Copies of this chain bind each other. A is one copy, B any other.
């Protein structure tokens, strides 16, 4: 009866499931995410939810994809207007800290930090997806470290892998201090640590991703 495409409606339903799923999973974990809870929250039947994914593992994989989109939107894309190399690296780290410190994106904080420890002892497609996205992010950071070295913005003897390892450590320490220990100073500590590692101050959170030239600024 409805003139609207049922496929479009199905797509929207699926999107709603996945969006709520990533929120639930950020709190309860990917394994603690249940089809029944998801169905109840969305006013659907369990089989209505499951039909979009085939199995719980299919649902988990869709949620990991959605989490990657959230991370891309909240971190990677916020540095889009900056030049490759050190400026991009500083903008990425600043956005990363803002994302990890914030309460407004996902209720349980960074999905990947939680999924990493939850799945590091398992095998299978979900673990592989989490690992793959972590690797992509590290490669992204390393690429800009190398560009910064080539441009003379970082010392010539910089060990790119080591630097990315240590930056990642500060992000993980921020998650730990902010969410487990509820330390409000954690973001400042991470910011200071990363700035020292990079030899340059990080841009302030509010202006992390200027889309135009600084001439437009105050």
Chain A residues engaging chain B, CB cutoff 8 angstroms: 26-27, 29, 31-32, 107-109, 113-114, 116-121, 130-131, 134-135, 161-162, 165-166, 168-177, 179-181, 185-186, 189-190, 192-193
B134 x A121 contact (CB < 8 A)? no
Copies of this protein chain in the complex: 2
Q: A131-B181, A165-B186, A169-B174 are in contact. List 9 more A-B contacts (CB 8 A).
A: A109-B120, A114-B117, A117-B118, A117-B179, A117-B180, A119-B180, A134-B180, A166-B193, A169-B171
Chain B residues, CB < 8 A from A171: 169
Provide the residues of chain B in CB contact with A185, threshold 8 Å.
161
CB distance from A80 to the nearest CB of B (A): 26
- Provide 9 A-B residue pairs closer than 8 Å at the C-beta atoms, listed in order of the A residue: A26-B121, A109-B120, A113-B117, A116-B180, A117-B179, A162-B192, A165-B173, A169-B170, A169-B172
